[in-house]
Structure 1
């Protein structure tokens, strides 16, 4: 499923005003030293690069033709020698020196500008990731992983290209245009007006391009997110694809997403195909007109309405500088192209940063300390967004040492009840308390530090088994890791692996079986040593014999802790202190195993089906 235009993320993206200006305010200003150093070095390098044509023109008029005295802009005449030989030597030294200065300060500019660009993008990327980490599960329920990855990778890279390339080229363009314009006006103001006539036309063409390019770039960036989502989903579900013989179907879906991206990209490029050649044409016409008018002026005198004289040296300076004029003007198309691309990307980056988290630590929240483990659900009601309630008026409590089991059909709301305890979501009505503290009144970190959670969807990071067991307790030593694995009945199979606890599990733990991943996940919770344990079908992927061994370990672990257990196999929770039967988001029965069997209700039916004593 692709991203929807009316999602929360897109709404905040559309509200971002002047995204590139915000980028510089929030991230560029703290790095202003590098930016300033780069700009100073850029000015010196560009001004130095303009000196050779000016010196060459002065040498032609003074040394080679003798038509006028040796003269350079902004330099007093008394600074220059009077003999032809000395003026020639000075010209050669100035030209050589200008190339050296240009090279040195271009290097300094490149280093400073790249430091600025990459430091800014480092901060943007890490801040975006930190923001994403702090968003609650509601955001991830709505957004696809591929689209979020597109923001963190593609959009951040676009901004890096803009800061690294377009910004440098823009600065060079400004300095070159200003310097060339000043020199041309100094050499011959009338011919300079002829040369610069193309600039207003370029401004009009650029304004036309920017107005039409912006929405096209936004559609292109959205298409990238959709394509990344489709690729990520297809790769993550490659096993299902293959077992369902659905390779052709997935290929068609990726092809469709890729073709949409192709169409949106071509929509941008078609506009660029008009703009870029148009800019190059105007710049080329400027050069051709300058050459024609200047050459005619030298051969036949000033063409009307121009007046006065034009020296050969000034003409040569005009030709060289106008050629220099053509290149940066032609690059305006690339700069605008990168600018519009970066503008669309920065809006997406800041759109992500502006999405508010609905589950946050309150400013006056307290640390949850000295936890005994009493858990209380007080008339809890919850629904996902605008959907109807999935949990309705649920109440129960559990004291330290108690085990409360949640049973019922798939989709009844059992997992949601557990996630509310960890504040993956916040209740709509009612309250959940730990040791009498509303979970919304304590810090998120301290709440989750005291709850060990094992999901039915086990997840392992790419790394070693030891690293995955230690996740969340990164300072744990090997002995503690081994002890936790033994408690989860994982030590034996780990020892049989080629590298034992240092075995790489692969992305998402793909090198291990489902049962092995589940036992490592349990070991992770054991190592955390929490006061409250939540097991969401924690043994669903293991065989019966292994389940019995794990269950013994879990019973021992939960002996003096509060445990909330979701179970599909009722045999694993028959010894629970309290069993709640959940259907349609409501608790329809509660009691011990024996009490519920004696009542002959829904639990008794479920037990009978699993025990094989009722007709199926």
Structure 2
């Protein structure tokens, strides 16, 4: 997809309204008790921190200077001692007690606020991942992995920083500003007007900064996704990079996107270079003005229009509280910085969550096994599945992204395909690469939904059964084998026997794994490894050869023991001898199962019950191997080339393949087969 095109992710991200409000509404509400506890503790801690300056000012005037009465705000005079030493003792006790209360309730506030922040982010991160797992394959066809990782990792972390730091600091700032302003006005409203004169200017500067920096944070978060994609691509393809001698090229690509990230970051920092010093300057001016005006007031009486009296104790209280007032205001820049960063990130998180999922369970969907008429006494989820599969006039058009309605798609890659497979039969699909073979079988798994027509299993439209029961009944071995970082045993058990419902470490489970690997001709090479089945194979199974990875994938499917098998060139990465051994085990595995196999080597499917020759999304020939040889069509020509009976394909076939290759290589979207002839 071109960079200037809007994907579903960008469109739904732009539609997110008040993302941080939504964050608190949807995820903060269930954890509100932690937030309320934290806010109450914060208020107590901040109010307690105001006590020492107030008591100190009163003590200076009443005890040390003797210029005023010993009175404390909100405390009845009758409760206060009249003896000066007793007043001193009480003052010391109040100051020490205030520090203890501040420390204790700050600790309570920290525990509660951090619980709130991290519980919310745990829910956001897991929900985002769960939604990502449910998104249609169409989303992953046109969305870069690095950007998805950026949402799940970087953006979620930004929200965590906001909830963990900015929220705490802003709450502390709010209480301190209101509390200190109230105390200053209470003691001397005229001098307080000098201290607070910078506040409106600070708010004006903050409003300007928020308006100016917000779009720059959005751009920065987008570039982070691009940077992650560039890094992920380079690291995933490091073998190709080295063998192609393109380290310099990849470095240049990462350098370009890194520099783009640098520029976006500098755009933000340029505003910060104005905003942060500006806030600190205004806060400093407020403190300096308070000190100068208050000092003149003490030396020469009320300056200018002021008329109130000012004692030394009150002036000391003003100095201490103004200092406490200035420091939080100077931190506003950090809070705004984290707020804007979190706002941009939350838009991306909710943009991901808002993307609609089209391939879902119908509200009335039934369990395929429960709805089936089979009588299998096994312990697998497909116990009631017989394996009758029917394609009824199936057509499929690939949509460009999640925004496009499938009915608006124009180019059909599958067009009017109909065939049936009885339980226990093997149906082979052959034909040029890009003809639609893999896409045709992915429709059976509902990785994509048919555009027209229907696919039925045991008489049930697959759109009317649950995805879990459908995919649990189908075993899929792809030509592009994927293994997770972990042990060989974990990869073989993956999916079917992964989770708390199975004792994966039991001796019986171990035996089942070994039986599956023996059937896949993998037991010998696994046993020769230093740790055997407990050998870790690295990310994507990089420590194994292509043939070994493919045999592990076949063993994984054998262990699943499905009623329907899909073998998408399952032996494409093995040598001829290993292919013969695997093919023998696959023949045994498919005896009582409905099997669909996409063949690269036609010799592997000559015994299939039905062979479908697919070309340009249509079935152009069908029948047994012998029947198709007798018809002398495309299948016979391909067979002749592979068997060495003819030297090359007729020119009309080659020319048609070139045309198809050019057309599909340019026009087909992701997720649809590409390339030249298989043979």
Pairwise TM-score range, normalised by the shorter structure? over 0.9
User: Which residue of structure 2 lines up, in the alignment, with residue 54 of structure 1?
Assistant: 54
User: Which residue of structure 1 lines up, in the alignment, with residue 626 of structure 2?
Assistant: 594
**Structure 1 runs of 4+ with >2 Å offset:** 1-5
User: Which residue of structure 2 lines up, in the alignment, with residue 401 of structure 1?
Assistant: 424
User: Which residue of structure 1 lines up, in the alignment, with residue 268 of structure 2?
Assistant: 268
CA distance in 1, matches of 2:417, 2:239: 38
CA distance in 1, matches of 2:308, 2:545: 90
User: Which residue of structure 1 lines up, in the alignment, with residue 542 of structure 2?
Assistant: 510
For residue 368 of structure 2, give the secondary structure of its aligned residue in structure 1: coil
Shift of 1:308: 2.1
- 1:205 matched to 2:205: yes
For residue 419 of structure 2, give the secondary structure of its aligned residue in structure 1: strand
- 1:580 matched to 2:594: no
Shift of 1:165: 0.1
Shift of 1:5: 5.2
For residue 108 of structure 1, give the secondary structure of its aligned residue in structure 2: helix
> Structure 2 length normalisation: TM-score?
0.90
CA distance in 2, matches of 1:425, 1:537: 20
User: Which residue of structure 1 lines up, in the alignment, with residue 126 of structure 2?
Assistant: 126
CA distance in 2, matches of 1:360, 1:255: 41
Q: Work out which of the residue numbers 361, 364, 372 in structure 1 matches 2:386.
A: 372
Shift of 1:387: 6.0
Shift of 1:522: 0.4
- Tell me how many residue pairs correspond in the alignment: 616
- 1:63 matched to 2:36: no
CA offset digits 1:187-237 (Å, max 9, x no partner) = 101111111111111111111111111110000000000100111111111
Shift of 1:3: 6.0
Q: How do 1:315-334 residues align onto structure 2 when only pairs under 5 Å count?
A: 315-334=315-334
CA distance in 2, matches of 1:95, 1:19: 43
CA offset digits 1:434-462 (Å, max 9, x no partner) = 01111001000000010000011101111
Check conservation: 1:383, 1:390, Cα contact below 8 A. Answer: yes
- 1:614 matched to 2:637: no
Check conservation: 1:2, 1:226, Cα contact below 8 A. Answer: no
- 1:453 matched to 2:485: no
Q: Work out which of the residue numbers 569, 578, 594 in structure 2 matches 1:546.
A: 578
Shift of 1:412: 1.1
User: Which residue of structure 1 lines up, in the alignment, with residue 528 of structure 2?
Assistant: 496
- 1:285 matched to 2:308: no
CA offset digits 1:376-417 (Å, max 9, x no partner) = 111111121046211111111100111000111111111101
User: Which residue of structure 2 lines up, in the alignment, with residue 339 of structure 1?
Assistant: 339
Q: How do 1:191-270 residues align onto structure 2 when only pairs under 5 Å count?
A: 191-270=191-270
- 1:420 matched to 2:432: no
CA offset digits 1:252-304 (Å, max 9, x no partner) = 11111111111111111111111111111111110011111111111111012
For residue 138 of structure 1, give the secondary structure of its aligned residue in structure 2: helix
Check conservation: 2:188, 2:308, Cα contact below 8 A. Answer: no
Check conservation: 1:137, 1:424, Cα contact below 8 A. Answer: yes
The Cα RMSD (Å) is 1.0
Inter-CA distance 152–339: structure 2 relative to 1 (3 Å threshold):
same
CA distance in 2, matches of 1:611, 1:272: 72
CA distance in 2, matches of 1:206, 1:37: 29
Shift of 1:473: 2.1
CA distance in 2, matches of 1:289, 1:347: 42
Check conservation: 1:452, 1:533, Cα contact below 8 A. Answer: yes
Check conservation: 2:55, 2:91, Cα contact below 8 A. Answer: yes
CA distance in 1, matches of 2:289, 2:641: 93
User: Which residue of structure 1 lines up, in the alignment, with residue 460 of structure 2?
Assistant: 437
CA distance in 1, matches of 2:207, 2:454: 57
Check conservation: 1:371, 1:450, Cα contact below 8 A. Answer: yes
User: Which residue of structure 2 lines up, in the alignment, with residue 383 of structure 1?
Assistant: 397
Q: Which moved more, 1:72-81 or 1:506-515?
A: 72-81
CA distance in 1, matches of 2:238, 2:139: 25
CA offset digits 1:116-152 (Å, max 9, x no partner) = 0000000000000000111111111011111000000
- 1:43 matched to 2:43: yes
User: Which residue of structure 1 lines up, in the alignment, with residue 496 of structure 2?
Assistant: 473
Check conservation: 2:190, 2:308, Cα contact below 8 A. Answer: no
Shift of 1:538: 0.3
CA distance in 2, matches of 1:226, 1:445: 34
Check conservation: 2:359, 2:446, Cα contact below 8 A. Answer: yes
CA distance in 2, matches of 1:140, 1:585: 23
User: Which residue of structure 2 lines up, in the alignment, with residue 525 of structure 1?
Assistant: 557
User: Which residue of structure 1 lines up, in the alignment, with residue 86 of structure 2?
Assistant: 86
Check conservation: 1:390, 1:413, Cα contact below 8 A. Answer: yes
Q: Which moved more, 1:384-393 or 1:106-115?
A: 384-393
User: Where does structure 2 lack aligned partners over 5 or more consecutive residues?
Assistant: 370-383, 400-408, 649-679
User: Where does structure 1 lack aligned partners over 5 or more consecutive residues?
Assistant: none
User: Which residue of structure 2 lines up, in the alignment, with residue 358 of structure 1?
Assistant: 358
User: Which residue of structure 1 lines up, in the alignment, with residue 636 of structure 2?
Assistant: 604
Inter-CA distance 16–460: structure 2 relative to 1 (3 Å threshold):
same
Check conservation: 2:46, 2:176, Cα contact below 8 A. Answer: yes
CA distance in 2, matches of 1:445, 1:438: 14
Shift of 1:4: 5.4
User: Which residue of structure 2 lines up, in the alignment, with residue 571 of structure 1?
Assistant: 603
For residue 579 of structure 1, give the secondary structure of its aligned residue in structure 2: strand
CA distance in 2, matches of 1:121, 1:584: 48
For residue 394 of structure 1, give the secondary structure of its aligned residue in structure 2: strand
Q: Work out which of the residue numbers 590, 597, 605 in structure 2 matches 1:558.
A: 590
